[in-house]
Structure 1
Amino acid sequence: MTDRYELILTCPKSLEGLLLQEAADLGLEAAREQVAAVVGQATLETAYRLCLWSRLANRVLLSLGRFEVDSAQQLYEAIHGIDWHEHLLPEGSLAVEFSGRGAGIDNTHFGALKVKDAIVDRLRTASGQRPSIDKIAPDLRVHVRLERGQAVVSIDLAGQSLHQRGYRLQQGAAPLKENLAAALLLRAGWPALAEQGRALADPMCGVGTFLIEAAMMAADIAPNLRRERWGFSGWLGHVPALWSRLHAQAQARATAGLAKPPLWIRGYEADPRLIQPARNNIERAGLSAWVKVYQGELATFEPVPDRGQAGLVICNPPYGERLGDEASLLYLYQHLGERLRVACLGWEAAIFTAAPELGKRMGLRSHKQYAFWNGALPSKLLLIRVEPTQFVIGAREAGKEAQGQQDRPESAPVRLSEGGQMFANRLKKNLRQFAKWARRESIECYRLYDADMPEYALAIDLYGDRVHVQEYAPPRSIDADKAQARLLDALAAIPQALGIDASQVVVKRRERQSGTRQYERQGSEGTFREVEEGGVKLLVNLTDYLDTGLFLDHRPLRLRIQREAAGKRFLNLFCYTATATVHAAKGGARSTLSVDLSRTYLDWARRNLALNGFSEKHRLEQGDVMEWLDADRGQYDLIFMDPPTFSNSKRMEGVFDVQRDQVRLIDLAMARLAPGGTLYFSNNFRRFALEEGLCQRYRVEEISDQTIDEDFRRNPKIHRAWKIQAR
């Protein structure tokens, strides 16, 4: 078969250069790069070889022609002009894929319909027989690409995308496509390392894609050898004898490759749910003798090859999109760098990440970086030689070097940037100051830092031995990359400054909230911990919501309520998790009633009360506070309310606005206040102004300064509070 064809090899964006070299090595001539594609000339034998052996291509398209098109009718006529009898029987099946637009074709469905009509009309017999449409497994899959008035018509020789090798029937949450994994291995120099008999390890292997692709390269296995169906299988131009010969040659190479002593290729995965799927994938690929997968945490990662050979560590750490990911990912990357320094001396490392700023936090310098796209995510492959000169050396290691010791490095604190060190110094200073005060006042939970340094716009709270960090979203005028770098500097500094393990830090981002967003669920760990305040126990959740269930700035107000509650009927409006109610009950309140719209927080409130031994006589009611007050006819000696700034819950009518609705809200509450009673009203809206008419009707005293404790003195506008009584 000597006829030559134009071939178009498609690939993921950023793989074009690698594919160009691979395709040339496999026989493609006059090859040139295009965006997400390589184009060249080849025989049918080379086209088959590319289908079988390309580790990087998605499709191998055999071009039938290029046509100038200025209308949908002209497209129809150009397609109709091709002799489709050379490619498909009239009783065969057909699929059409169309991309691009122009020339009066505004959507791909319409374009595909015109192409299908032209092919069917050309093949329709006198008896009316015509091809059927089969989008899954057609005899012929036709591609048409319309761009700048030119239509390129091709036959898809591959069928399904070539990245689907057939071994990966089970995959994890964020799978890496097989051809991208192969490209990363090529950029990392794995083929040369494999030739030298070196080892390969993946400390976060998922379902084993890197491991399998690496083993197929090392054992000289064609990546698509096990594929059962091809796009050319039902094509009339297919030459079965030629294909069979090439396939047999590839099978013989694979048999010879697998007969060699296997290389040491190992994967480790922390999630036990992925171990069996990974092993199943490895078995389907026929590589069980070459590749082993074990359950193991990154903390214990230490590759120990059977012959002591070094090699390549390659992995694709998570990059994170959920609220609070920054801290866990920073510490994961730091720990990965530490494990490489401690356990992989003399190895090469290839770290693929969509968060290169996190890659810099490993404490290891990359000698080369390659840009890739992982789907729509711009990513980088960081290549690192794990050598002693790469280490971030702490004092202990520096001492060893001076003495000429050659021991493997021990774990050393990550070296902080200049800004990170300044931030750490401020935390240490604050800790010395507030820890003494907290011990003296028997306070377990307090604010340690509140944007003291404007460029590090964080609120840091201590909950016993846990650290809760909220990042205030930077204004749009601040460069996002610089803000992210400062956040990572701060997160790196927190464990060192406070002398805690990184796992004890939880990070969230606080943006300007509307409605009930601050109360929406952000995670699903469901982990509650007990803390103490003023002799009561309270449950906090540091991970699942933006707020923790305990507003620390209201500590003095809760303690005031506890002191004043003895023998009184207490009403808590917008009660949230009812922490003030627990204090009132502890203070000896005759009865308590707490109202909130959220069933979730009322359940939390019930647990807070039960934790302290308080019974169902302390009532909890679900409802919109304004409507509830309008309908209630009870009397209460002590009322507390801390309404949200805005609320537009689905369970309430209209929108609540604390500035606009304050008069009606306070009037309704005062109507329920018993003679001689007290209403404590607080909110955290920075621009809130109390209506003057309220001061004329009631005896009003602003007590904000009395309700701000030492840990919030830096931010006196954290809330404002008033004591309101009848005149």
Structure 2
Amino acid sequence: MPTYQLFATTPKAMETILTDELQTLGVKNIKATMAGVAFQGDLETAYRACLWSRTANRILLVLSSFEVKSQEDLYKGIQKIDWFEHINPEDSFAVSFSAKNSAAINNTHFGALKVKDAIVDQMRAKFQTRPSIDTEQPNIRINVYLNGETAQLSLDLSGESLHRRGYRDVSIKAPMKENLAAAMLLRSGWPQIAKQQGSLIDPMCGSGTLLLEGAMIAADYAPGLLRDYFGFTGWKKHDAGRWKKLRAEAEQRKKIGLEKLPVIVGFDQNRHTVNTALAHIANAGLQNKIHVERRDIEDAEPAESWKPGLLICNPPYGERLGDEQETAELYKRFGDTLKAHFTGWKAAMIISNPELGFRLGIRSQKPITLFNGALECKLLRMDIEQRNFFIPKAKSPEERIAQVTEISKAQEQRIAETVKTRPAPQAEAVSTDNETIAPGAEMFAYKDVGEGRELGAVSFANRLKKNLKKLSNWAKQNRVTCYRAYDADLPEYAVAVDIYQGEQTWVNVQEYEPPKSIDQHKADQRLAGLLAEIPRVLGISRDQVFLKIRRKQKSTNQYEKHGDQGRFHIIEEGGCKLLVNFEDYLDTGLFLDHRPIRLLIQQQAKGKRFLNLFAYTGSASVHAAVGGAKSTTTVDMSNTYINWAKKNMTLNVNQGEHEFIQADCLEWLAAEAGQPSKHYDLVFLDPPTFSNSKRMNAVFDIQTDHVQLINNAASLLSPGGVLYFSTNFRRFKIDEQALSDLIVEDISAATIPEDFARNPKIHYCWRIKE
């Protein structure tokens, strides 16, 4: 049997796990590379890799490598292969093409067409007929990777990604791929725990991926057994007898393994996902082997008969200012549950923001880097033991605001008394931020911070002054009345300061939560110091300065009110009047960083039908209406914000087709995408990063759910229509491959305004067309 050059692809950071897997299969001459492993073997070796690898994506059989300096070189290189050795003229094939650092071909679609033409032309010349193209289940799938001037031509023996085991309902978007779940379990020591009959629990099991992968590992159940299609089954050199023998061997191993399966249990609070998990378990033939029930995280608890083992999960991610706070309480509750009910167990979870792991209150081992799609994550592993427990310290936002305000008032009084009573000659002039502050000057500074203003607070004041001098000219020239004047320019003063100008000037201060290494009392002192400086720098009353400490307590509902003052103020933006509120809500009602995209919508809206999804207070809808939109449709889940949006619209226009819909945007969009009753020329899609609101039927996570969301929104576009998609998730990676049927253009840089230039990752934005 001939020996082939083979290559197994895998997600980045999983190369070592895949190498270990291949070694257990008896593979020799292994060489790990970025996102893959090269190896040698005969056809049986390749078949075993396809059948047994839990972490590979594809198994490629290398046919040739050749130089490509031009398009013609690619065509000739493909034609050097006798394709009749691999397929018949009446068969089907598909081509995957990717390129990196190539001057000859940088358009992957064009490269795939060139490969297709070379094969079709050769077969037609020999047989006067040609094979057809089948992108779903072709007889063979051809893979070409062009790196610089070297092309590698391979047959894809897997046919489709090996993470598709065959048990999942393909219509349901998974929060993680099956091979990532397997990697988590392998890295967490599950094979050894399972051999000792330790239990496996996923308290946030979703559609059951971790449970199923855990069961398959414990039962010696080959992950490829459920698949009825591989890329080699239609290949002319396929050895059907050898493949049948390998499958029979795997079936026998599975039968023996299932007799020794340990306890495997999943919990989830959502009825729909529990039903989905049960369906997937049935598809895998593991009924009565895995137990799943509806249960909230606080109620997750092992039965006395379950032997301690591994608790593993993929909890929701939280990223941007506000989103992390919405998720933090969930992690705290999770940590409390682990401490109360799972002492003696091991735990593992994958998170994108390691800071959230601190909320658990359990010390972990060194994190392991893994990638969930394009998103870099960390796998945390913990021993649930008393010696590893600690209590994360955090005051409530209400307590901290009250305390900081009290400190600020006392500091202002102390400053006034010190400046009034202490003789100027006793103070030494100091230099801060390249500006000298002389004794007796308005911005008086003492080295003795116990008796006067802190030097750092003066530095903050100077920086704010500089920023205002620069931005005020820009704001005046561009008729901008609301803008960010300071954004954590000085690390020790980590706040955002936003100026709102209407009938008077207001300042909205948002604190970035200090890192755990910073003493909370010192952080409060600094915050109080800058609150004392802001009114002085701007020449306004301290009653016009509002502080927001963006951490939520018990509720994960983004629409919860934080006050009931009911005071709204009118500001102007791009010829639009908009209502803002500084006291009752976490946000003011206007996201300042989206100003350019709102103005762009206004410029492009004339005569168009505009759809605003996750509309918040409807400011983009107002811009579209003022820009002359034929109609606007505004959709948001919150009745509070829908009413706010209506008031905003009434301030600006009194007529026209302006529809306001209170609905779960995900459900509304899915229903409209299935049966589009109307099409839109212009769509703005700005979803939250994460939401587990009780009003929604399922947890939403922008990284895992954005493909379906964008596809549904794009399906409502009229011919030539434009969708603008934006997200504030700082680690977001758009899945361009999954959206390859759409034209996706990154316009993030053009949508970052001058006042946010220091923070270019405040949001990302794409222009999308069909």
TM-score band by shorter chain is 0.5 to 0.7
Are residues 296 and 170 of structure 1, via their aligned partners in 2, closer, same or farther at CA, if it must alter by over 3 Å? farther
Inter-partner Cα distance in structure 2 for 1:517 and 1:316: 43
Tell me which residue corresponds to 1:531.
Answer: none
Contact 1:350–1:383 (CA<8 Å) still a contact in 2? yes
Tell me which residue corresponds to 2:470.
Answer: none
Inter-partner Cα distance in structure 2 for 1:416 and 1:433: 22
Inter-partner Cα distance in structure 1 for 2:48 and 2:152: 23
Which structure: larger Rg?
1
Tell me which residue corresponds to 2:387.
Answer: 389
Amino acid at match of 2:514: R
Contact 1:324–1:509 (CA<8 Å) still a contact in 2? no
C-alpha deviation, 1:225, in angstroms: 0.3
Inter-partner Cα distance in structure 1 for 2:372 and 2:50: 23
Tell me which residue corresponds to 1:684.
Answer: none
C-alpha deviation, 1:133, in angstroms: 1.1
1:89 has 2:88 as partner: yes
Tell me which residue corresponds to 1:139.
Answer: 139
Are residues 45 and 475 of structure 1, via their aligned partners in 2, closer, same or farther at CA, if it must alter by over 3 Å? same
Tell me which residue corresponds to 1:280.
Answer: 279
Residues 361-389 of structure 1: CA deviation (Å, up to 9, x unaligned)? 21111123101111121110011001110
Inter-partner Cα distance in structure 1 for 2:354 and 2:58: 30
Tell me which residue corresponds to 2:201.
Answer: 201
Tell me which residue corresponds to 2:377.
Answer: 379
1:235 has 2:235 as partner: yes
Are residues 235 and 366 of structure 1, via their aligned partners in 2, closer, same or farther at CA, if it must alter by over 3 Å? same
Residues 92-119 of structure 1: CA deviation (Å, up to 9, x unaligned)? 1111111105252121122112211222
Amino acid at match of 2:262: L
Residues 671-722 of structure 1: CA deviation (Å, up to 9, x unaligned)? xxxxxxxxxxxxxxxxxxxxxxxxxxxxxxxxxxxxxxxxxxxxxxxxxxxx
Contact 1:327–1:507 (CA<8 Å) still a contact in 2? no
Contact 1:7–1:39 (CA<8 Å) still a contact in 2? yes
Amino acid at match of 1:186: L
1:71 has 2:92 as partner: no
Tell me which residue corresponds to 1:51.
Answer: 50
Tell me which residue corresponds to 2:468.
Answer: none
Which residue, 309, 312, 328 being the options, matches 2:310? 312
Are residues 302 and 623 of structure 1, via their aligned partners in 2, closer, same or farther at CA, if it must alter by over 3 Å? closer
Are residues 215 and 480 of structure 1, via their aligned partners in 2, closer, same or farther at CA, if it must alter by over 3 Å? farther
The percentage of counterpart residues that share the same residue type is: 39
Tell me which residue corresponds to 1:415.
Answer: 392
**Uncovered stretches (5+) of structure 2, i.e. residues with no partner:** 410-455, 461-483, 496-511, 525-548, 563-570, 592-616, 619-631, 656-681, 683-770
Residues 48-87 of structure 1: CA deviation (Å, up to 9, x unaligned)? 0000000000000000011122111112111111121211
C-alpha deviation, 1:8, in angstroms: 0.8
Amino acid at match of 1:253: R
1:362 has 2:360 as partner: yes
C-alpha deviation, 1:423, in angstroms: 10
C-alpha deviation, 1:287, in angstroms: 1.2
Amino acid at match of 2:369: A
Amino acid at match of 1:368: K
C-alpha deviation, 1:328, in angstroms: 2.3
Inter-partner Cα distance in structure 2 for 1:40 and 1:242: 20
C-alpha deviation, 1:122, in angstroms: 2.3
Inter-partner Cα distance in structure 1 for 2:557 and 2:517: 14
Residues 419-439 of structure 1: CA deviation (Å, up to 9, x unaligned)? x699966745768999xxxxx
Tell me which residue corresponds to 1:124.
Answer: 124
Inter-partner Cα distance in structure 2 for 1:259 and 1:86: 44
Tell me which residue corresponds to 2:299.
Answer: 300
C-alpha deviation, 1:598, in angstroms: 12
Inter-partner Cα distance in structure 1 for 2:634 and 2:401: 40
Tell me which residue corresponds to 2:349.
Answer: 351
**Uncovered stretches (5+) of structure 1, i.e. residues with no partner:** 393-413, 435-452, 457-471, 522-537, 549-575, 578-596, 609-619, 629-649, 651-727
Tell me which residue corresponds to 2:688.
Answer: none
Are residues 166 and 513 of structure 1, via their aligned partners in 2, closer, same or farther at CA, if it must alter by over 3 Å? farther
- SS of the residue corresponding to residue 487 of structure 2 reads coil
Question: What is the correspondence of 1:661-676 to structure 2 with a 5 Å cutoff?
Answer: none
Contact 1:326–1:488 (CA<8 Å) still a contact in 2? no
C-alpha deviation, 1:155, in angstroms: 0.3
Are residues 83 and 382 of structure 1, via their aligned partners in 2, closer, same or farther at CA, if it must alter by over 3 Å? same
Inter-partner Cα distance in structure 1 for 2:62 and 2:161: 17
Amino acid at match of 2:489: S
Contact 1:599–1:622 (CA<8 Å) still a contact in 2? no
Inter-partner Cα distance in structure 2 for 1:517 and 1:362: 45
Deviates more, 1:273-282 or 1:21-30: 21-30
Contact 1:28–1:42 (CA<8 Å) still a contact in 2? yes
Inter-partner Cα distance in structure 2 for 1:504 and 1:92: 55
Deviates more, 1:189-198 or 1:291-300: 291-300
Inter-partner Cα distance in structure 2 for 1:626 and 1:519: 12
Inter-partner Cα distance in structure 1 for 2:153 and 2:273: 42
- SS of the residue corresponding to residue 367 of structure 2 reads strand
User: TM-score, structure 1 length as denominator?
Assistant: 0.60
C-alpha deviation, 1:127, in angstroms: 4.9
Question: What is the correspondence of 1:172-191 to structure 2 with a 5 Å cutoff?
Answer: 175-191=175-191
Q: How many residues align?
A: 493
Are residues 545 and 432 of structure 1, via their aligned partners in 2, closer, same or farther at CA, if it must alter by over 3 Å? closer
Which residue, 540, 546, 564 being the options, matches 2:589? 546
Inter-partner Cα distance in structure 2 for 1:79 and 1:216: 40
Are residues 125 and 324 of structure 1, via their aligned partners in 2, closer, same or farther at CA, if it must alter by over 3 Å? same
Inter-partner Cα distance in structure 2 for 1:505 and 1:487: 25
Inter-partner Cα distance in structure 1 for 2:190 and 2:367: 16
Question: What is the correspondence of 1:634-673 to structure 2 with a 5 Å cutoff?
Answer: none
Are residues 624 and 37 of structure 1, via their aligned partners in 2, closer, same or farther at CA, if it must alter by over 3 Å? same
Inter-partner Cα distance in structure 2 for 1:509 and 1:39: 57
Tell me which residue corresponds to 1:502.
Answer: 554
1:266 has 2:265 as partner: yes
Inter-partner Cα distance in structure 2 for 1:205 and 1:604: 33
Are residues 425 and 325 of structure 1, via their aligned partners in 2, closer, same or farther at CA, if it must alter by over 3 Å? closer
Contact 1:327–1:506 (CA<8 Å) still a contact in 2? no
Residues 558-612 of structure 1: CA deviation (Å, up to 9, x unaligned)? xxxxxxxxxxxxxxxxxx99xxxxxxxxxxxxxxxxxxx99999x979999xxxx
Tell me which residue corresponds to 2:514.
Answer: 486
Contact 2:160–2:230 (CA<8 Å) still a contact in 1? yes
Inter-partner Cα distance in structure 2 for 1:157 and 1:253: 23
Amino acid at match of 2:3: R
Inter-partner Cα distance in structure 1 for 2:650 and 2:254: 70
Residues 117-164 of structure 1: CA deviation (Å, up to 9, x unaligned)? 222222225551111111111111000000021110000001110001
C-alpha deviation, 1:340, in angstroms: 0.7
Are residues 202 and 543 of structure 1, via their aligned partners in 2, closer, same or farther at CA, if it must alter by over 3 Å? farther
Contact 2:319–2:353 (CA<8 Å) still a contact in 1? no
Residues 253-312 of structure 1: CA deviation (Å, up to 9, x unaligned)? 11111233x31111111112211111001110111222111111112111225x341011
Inter-partner Cα distance in structure 1 for 2:247 and 2:307: 34
User: TM-score, structure 2 length as denominator?
Assistant: 0.57
1:253 has 2:253 as partner: yes
Contact 1:416–1:489 (CA<8 Å) still a contact in 2? no
Tell me which residue corresponds to 1:41.
Answer: 40
Residues 647-674 of structure 1: CA deviation (Å, up to 9, x unaligned)? xxx9xxxxxxxxxxxxxxxxxxxxxxxx
Tell me which residue corresponds to 1:4.
Answer: 3
Are residues 43 and 170 of structure 1, via their aligned partners in 2, closer, same or farther at CA, if it must alter by over 3 Å? closer
- SS of the residue corresponding to residue 368 of structure 1 reads coil
Are residues 428 and 289 of structure 1, via their aligned partners in 2, closer, same or farther at CA, if it must alter by over 3 Å? same
Amino acid at match of 2:50: C
